[in-house]
């Protein structure tokens, strides 16, 4: 282990364009804080990308490259965790970048505060614009998981959906806006769920929240998240429904555990607030599936088959229950209309309005 290594920064790479990876690596190699190691996990990229990754080791001895067969981003990040020697672990996507003083500023906080996770803010960059996100957390606050109010707040925020009207427009379950104690991750055997093809980061962060003792929130924006219209998040996905079905199985189990834990702390065996947040999140997932599979422009099926598939999907649990259980009073005007249209099985009209008119920009729930 390198005793001078304070941070291990893990970057999974799969055929990332050179211009993006160069910007990402430049932001790390030029950090004002030098006690870092950069672990690039090449997850079965093309020969050209693999060679590009290897060349970075020639530029700086702090860069380590691990080549492996393609196993997915979760396995790549797990490889990085197992290879890390730093006291603290960070994750960065290969097309994003950090402010050059990020590591230095955060090292000062980490040396002064005793926490399992340090969380900070980020900005989203797209079309020459930069938008600062809002988490709705108290700046410079140590969230103590022995305090039921802190635990309940973080559990709800991590399980649920953003609520811009209440001051938070961003979820808490990104992995790259946090610094994790390596000791904390290793002692609790916290790794990314291999085989879960969607929202593995949400499951990972929820699992961290279940195990951690404390989280310190520092409001400054250090991370730049690149918004990309050609992202895989916007492409046709033949298995979008299957992926979300696998995800909700994991999340429902976590929500149940969290409800039981908080219920025991407050003496309420009927406590179910985290499950309520799970229901709202599941309701939001329906839009993804309808837009990315059944009514995506690249779906090769005819209209009747796409509509039939969409109706079969929303009739499955827990999606069907989420449509019925989510309360109109908890939804924005747009999302209320979404609920009404799904109850009436107007799936095609719902997707048409969302695609053509930018419908479903609800502020309370999606």
Burial class (CB in 10 A: 0-12, 13-18, 19+), 104: middle
**Same domain (yes/no): 136, 247:** no
> Which of 226, 250, 272 lies at the terminal end of a domain, its last residue?
226
Tell whether 293 and 315 lie within a shared domain. Answer: yes
Same-domain check for residues 202 and 95: yes
- d(CA 152, CA 143) in angstroms, rounded, equals 11
| 68 domain-assigned | yes
Output the pLDDT for position 229: 59
Provide the mean pLDDT of the chain: 92
pLDDT tens profile 322-355: 999 999 988 888 889 999 999 999 999 999 988 8
Structure token pair of residue 272: 């179910």
Question: pLDDT digits over 94-122, tens only?
Answer: 999 999 999 999 999 999 999 999 999 99
222 touches 122 (CB < 8 A): yes
State both tokens at 105: 């500023």
C-alpha span between 225 and 261 (Å, rounded): 34
Q: Which domain holds residue 187?
A: 7-226
Q: Same structural domain for residues 88 and 210?
A: yes
- Count of domains in the chain? 2
Is the domain of 83 the same as that of 176? yes
Mean pLDDT over 15-21 rounds to 94
39 strand-pairing partners: 10, 64
Q: What percent of the chain has pLDDT over 70?
A: 95
Statement to judge: residues 219 and 299 lie in one domain:
no
Q: Which one, of 220, 219, 221, 212, lies nearest residue 150 by Cα?
A: 212
Q: Residue 270 corresponds to which tokens in the numbers above?
A: 């009927």
| CATH code: domain of residue 212 | 3.90.550.10
What is the spatial distance between Cα 315 and Cα 291, in angstroms, rounded to a whole number?
17
255 and 186, same structural domain? no
Q: Is residue 126 part of a domain?
A: yes
Q: Kindly give the pairing relationship between strand 36-43 and strand 7-13.
A: parallel
Residues 97 and 211 in one domain: yes
Indicate if 45 and 101 belong to the same structural domain. yes
Cα–Cα distance measured from residue 364 to residue 161, given in angstroms and rounded to the nearest whole number:
8
Same domain, residue pair 212 and 257? no
């Amino acid at each position: 282990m390198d005793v001078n290594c304070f941070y291990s920064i893990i970057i999974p790479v799969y055929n990332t364009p050179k211009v993006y990876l160069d910007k990402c690596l430049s932001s790390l190699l030029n950090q004002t804080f030098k006690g870092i190691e950069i672990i690039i996990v090449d997850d079965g990229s093309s020969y050209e990308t693999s060679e590009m990754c290897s060349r970075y080791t020639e530029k700086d001895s702090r860069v380590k490259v691990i080549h492996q067969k393609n196993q997915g981003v979760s396995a790549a990040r797990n490889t990085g965790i197992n290879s890390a020697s730093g006291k603290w672990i960070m994750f960065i996507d290969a097309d994003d970048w950090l402010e050059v003083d990020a590591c230095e500023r955060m090292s000062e906080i980490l040396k002064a505060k005793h926490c399992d996770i340090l969380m900070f803010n980020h900005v989203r960059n797209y079309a020459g614009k930069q938008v600062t996100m809002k988490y709705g957390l108290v700046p410079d606050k140590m969230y103590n998981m022995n305090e039921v109010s802190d635990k309940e707040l973080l559990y709800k925020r991590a399980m649920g959906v953003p609520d811009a009207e209440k001051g938070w427009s961003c979820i808490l379950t990104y992995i790259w806006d946090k610094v994790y104690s390596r000791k904390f991750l290793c002692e609790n055997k916290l790794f990314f769920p291999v085989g879960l093809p969607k929202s593995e980061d949400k499951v990972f962060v929820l699992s961290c929240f279940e195990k951690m003792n404390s989280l310190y929130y520092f409001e400054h924006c250090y991370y730049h998240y690149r918004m990309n219209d050609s992202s895989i998040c916007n492409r046709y996905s033949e298995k979008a429904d299957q992926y979300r079905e696998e995800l909700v199985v994991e999340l429902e189990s976590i929500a149940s555990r969290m409800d039981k834990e908080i219920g025991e702390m407050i003496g309420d065996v009927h406590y179910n607030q985290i499950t309520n947040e799970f229901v709202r999140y599941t309701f939001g997932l329906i839009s993804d599936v309808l837009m990315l599979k059944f009514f995506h422009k690249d779906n090769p099926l005819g209209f009747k088959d796409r509509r039939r598939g969409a109706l079969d999907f929303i009739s499955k649990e827990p999606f069907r229950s989420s449509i019925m259980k989510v309360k109109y009073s908890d939804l924005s005007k747009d999302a209320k209309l979404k609920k009404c249209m799904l109850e009436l099985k107007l799936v095609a009209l719902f997707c048409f309005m969302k695609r053509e008119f930018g419908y479903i920009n609800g502020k309370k729930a999606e």
